[in-house]
Amino acid sequence: MFANLTIRQKLTAFIMLTTTVVIVLSCAVIFIFELNSHRKQAAGNLESVARLIGHNCQVALTFDIPEDAEMMLSALSSRPSIVRASVYDADSNVFAVYPPSEPKDTFLVPENKNEGSTFTGEYIEAFYHIRLKDSVIGSISLRSDMRVFWRDLRYDTSVMGIILLIALPVTYLLATKLQGFISKPIFSLAETARQVSTQKDYSVRALKYSQDEIGKLTDAFNDMLLQIERSNKAISRSEEMHRRLIDNLTGSFVFTHDTQENFTYVSSSATDVLGYSAEEFLSHFPEYLTEHPINQDVHKHKELTVQGIQQSSYEIQLYHKNGSLCWLEVSEVPVRNDSGIIIAVEGVAHDITERKKAEEERETLLRAVSLKNAELENIVYVSSHDLRSPLINMQGFAYELTKSCEQAKVLFSEMQVSGKDKEQLVSILEENIPSSLEFINSGVSSLDALQKGLLKICRLGYVHLEIEHLDVNNMLASIVKNMQYQIDQHQITVEIGNVPDCFGDKGQIFQVFTNLLDNAIKYLDPDRKGTINVSGETEEGFCVYCVEDNGIGIRPEYYGKIFEIFHRLDPKGSITGEGLGLSVVRRIIERHNGNIWLESEPEKGCRFFVSLPGSADQVSRDILFTGETL
C-alpha cells in the first residue's frame, strides 16, 4: 500500500498513523478505566442499599414480623434499577420479597453465600448477612439491572469519539506542516546515498541543515563516507600490492578452483614455473599431469578439501611446456561464504623440482656411501680377523726365540771361548737379541690391541638394540659399586643426583656410563682430592645427563679429536688404554638417536653431557634395526 507513496506522503502517513494509534490507545485505556470505575460504583451503591435495608430489617427478623420487612423492601420502588429483592431468616427461608406480586418460591437463596456483589449477565447481584450483636439473624439479596451502567458508559464513549474526530484533522494539518522540516534533510541524505550507490563516488558529502538528531545523522553519514573512501583507497593499494606480489612470485603460483575442481584463476607466475600461459593452464591442466603414481591422489586431496577436511600439503608431478618433468608441492584451503558453505578452494603451488633432484642425488650418494662403508667395514673386519693368525705366529716365534736365547746362554756359559769372542757373544745374547725381542713383543701387543679395537668397533654396529625403560639411578649405583675399589684407592668423592629415567638398550647404556665414570677417574688431578658429580634433567622430551669431574681438563683444540678412534690425550703418559672408550660411547649414543658433547677448562675439570630418549618412540627405527657402518 505504501510502495508507491513519496517520502513526504509516507512521513505524513506515518505521523498520522502514529498519532491515531496513540489517541486510540489512550481512549482505550480511558474506556477500560471508566468501565472498571462504573462497575465498582454500581456494585458499591447496591451493596450500600443492601446493608441499609438489612439493618432496618433487624427488628422484623428478631420479632418475626414479615410485614415490616416487606414494608422496608417496598421503599426500593424509588430505585427503578433494582428489579428484585428478598430477605431470608437465619435458616435461609424466604422472609420477605420485592416486588410482593411475585411468588416467594422463585426467590431462592444464592448458592454462594459470601457477602459482596457479582455480575451475572445483565444484572448486578448483592448479598449481605444481617447481624445482631455478632450473630447472623438473616440475610438480604438484591438484584439490579445494568441500565444506568450502560447509559454512563455510552456517554463516556461518545465523548471519546468526539475527541478522536476532532484530533485527527488537527493531526493531519500538523503533520502536513511539520513533515517539510523533517523531510528536507532526509531528502538530502537520500539524494547523496543515491549518488554514492549509482556512481560509486564516495567523495560526495550530504548537506547539513541543523544540529539536531538528523544533523548528527548527517555528520555520521558523511564520516562513514570518509571512512569508506579511505578504506577503499587502502584496499586498492593492498590489492595492487598483493597482485604484484602474486604475479611476480618466484618458483610459485596461486590458483583458485570451484567445488567441481574447475580452475577459475591462476596467477601469471605459473608461466615461469610450467611454461604455460594462464589461459592454457586453466583449460588444459589435466593434460599436464604425468602417469606418476603420486598423481592418482590429486583428485582425492581436492575432494577432501572441498568437503572442509583439513589437508596437509601434497606433491604432484607435471610436464613442463618444454617436455621436462616438474614437481610441485601444493597447499589448499577451502573458501566459505557468509553462511559457512564452501564455494571454492584457494591454493599455492611451489616448484620443488630442484629439491627433488637434490633428494634423488642425495639418495644415490647415500646408497653409494652405504655400499662403500659396508665394503670398507667388511675389509676392515676381514683384515683385522686375518691379522690374528700372523700375530699369534709372531708371538709364538718370539717366545721360541726367547727360549732359544736362554738355552744359548746356558750353552755359552759351558763353552771355552776367548775373551774377545766371549764379550761379543755376551752382548748379542744378553743385549741385542733381548732388546729386539722386546720391540717385537711391543709391536705385536700394539697390533693385537689395534686388531681387537677394530673388531670391537665393527661388531658394535651389528648388535641388536633391546629398547626398554631404564632406571638410571639404579644403574649408576651399580656402576659405582663395581668401581668402589678404584674410588676408595684414589679417595674420590662420588655424588649421584636424582636423575630421570630414559629408554635404551640396558647393556650398551651401562657401558656408556661405565666408560664416562672410568675416564673421570683416570684423568683426575693427582695434586687435589678428586670429586665426581652425576646429575640429570629432562629437556624437550630427552633426558640430559652430566658427568662432571675436577680433573686435569681438556684443551678446546682436543674437543673433536677425543671422540676419534684410537685417540688418546697423552699417548706416552702413564694412563693406559686403547683410545676406544669415547669412540664406543659416541657410537652407542648415536645409535640411540642421542648426542654427546663436553665443556671443559684445563686444570679445572671437565663436564660430559649425554642426551638420551625419554620415550621409546624417540629412538630412531632406522638405527635400531638396520645396523651401522663405519
The confidence score (pLDDT) of residue 471 equals 94
Angle at 88 between CA 82 and CA 92, to 5 degrees: 135
Q: CA-CA distance, 187 to 310, in Å (whole number)?
A: 52
Residues 609/597, Cβ–Cβ less than 8 Å: yes
CA-to-CA dists, residue 470 to 556, 593, 620, angstroms: 33, 16, 17
CATH of domain 248-351: 3.30.450.20
Fold match between 248-351 and 467-626?
no
Q: CA-CA distance, 504 to 80, in Å (whole number)?
A: 116
Q: CA-CA distance, 124 to 142, in Å (whole number)?
A: 8
Residue 208's CB: how many other CB atoms inside 10 A?
A: 17
The confidence score (pLDDT) of residue 502 equals 94
Q: What is the pLDDT of residues 356-387, one digit of tens each?
A: 888 888 888 878 776 766 665 666 656 555 66
In terms of average pLDDT, the best of 316-320, 343-347, 379-383, 499-503 is: 499-503
Query: pLDDT band at 75, cuts 50/70/90?
Result: confident
The confidence score (pLDDT) of residue 202 equals 73
Angle at 195 between CA 190 and CA 198, to 5 degrees: 120
The confidence score (pLDDT) of residue 382 equals 60
Q: CA-CA distance, 62 to 384, in Å (whole number)?
A: 146
Q: Which of 398, 504, 506 is nearest to 445 (CA)?
A: 398
The confidence score (pLDDT) of residue 123 equals 81
Residues 347/329, Cβ–Cβ less than 8 Å: no
Q: What is the pLDDT of residues 98-151, one digit of tens each?
A: 887 777 767 777 766 678 888 776 788 888 888 888 788 888 888 888 777 777
The grid coordinates listed for 217 are 545523522
Q: What is the pLDDT of residues 165-211, one digit of tens each?
A: 787 777 777 666 666 666 667 777 777 777 777 777 777 777 777 77
Say yes or no to pLDDT of 311 above 70: yes
The confidence score (pLDDT) of residue 49 equals 83
- Lowest-pLDDT choice from 376-385, 532-541, 564-573: 564-573
Residues in the chain, overall count: 630
Phi, then psi, of 305 in degrees rounded to 5: -65, -40
7-154, CATH topology level = Beta-Lactamase (3.30.450)
Q: How far is CA 72 from the centre of its chain?
A: 92
Neighbouring residues of 606: CB distance < 8 A, sequence distance ≥ 6? 520, 523, 548, 549, 551, 553, 554, 598, 599, 600
The confidence score (pLDDT) of residue 548 equals 94
pTM: 0.39
Q: Residue 213, SS3?
A: helix
The confidence score (pLDDT) of residue 574 equals 46
Say yes or no to pLDDT of 552 above 80: yes
Cα Rg of the chain, angstroms: 58
Angle at 152 between CA 151 and CA 156, to 5 degrees: 120
The confidence score (pLDDT) of residue 175 equals 65
- In one-letter notation, the amino acid at residue 53 is I
Bridge partners (DSSP) of residue 495 are 533
Neighbouring residues of 226: CB distance < 8 A, sequence distance ≥ 6? 202
Q: How far apart are the first and last CA of the chain?
A: 95
The confidence score (pLDDT) of residue 403 equals 75
Q: CA-CA distance, 570 to 574, in Å (whole number)?
A: 8
CATH of domain 467-626: 3.30.565.10
The confidence score (pLDDT) of residue 415 equals 66
The grid coordinates listed for 619 are 629412538
Domain residue spans in the chain?
Answer: 7-154, 248-351, 387-460, 467-626
- The DSSP 8-state label assigned to residue 551 in this structure reads S
Residues 521/486, Cβ–Cβ less than 8 Å: yes
Q: CA-CA distance, 428 to 442, in Å (whole number)?
A: 20
Q: CA-CA distance, 15 to 179, in Å (whole number)?
A: 8
Q: Could you give the angle at which helices 506-522 and 472-482 cross, rounded to 10 degrees?
A: 50
Q: Is the dihedral of CA 393, 394, 397, 398 positive or negative?
A: negative
The confidence score (pLDDT) of residue 245 equals 66
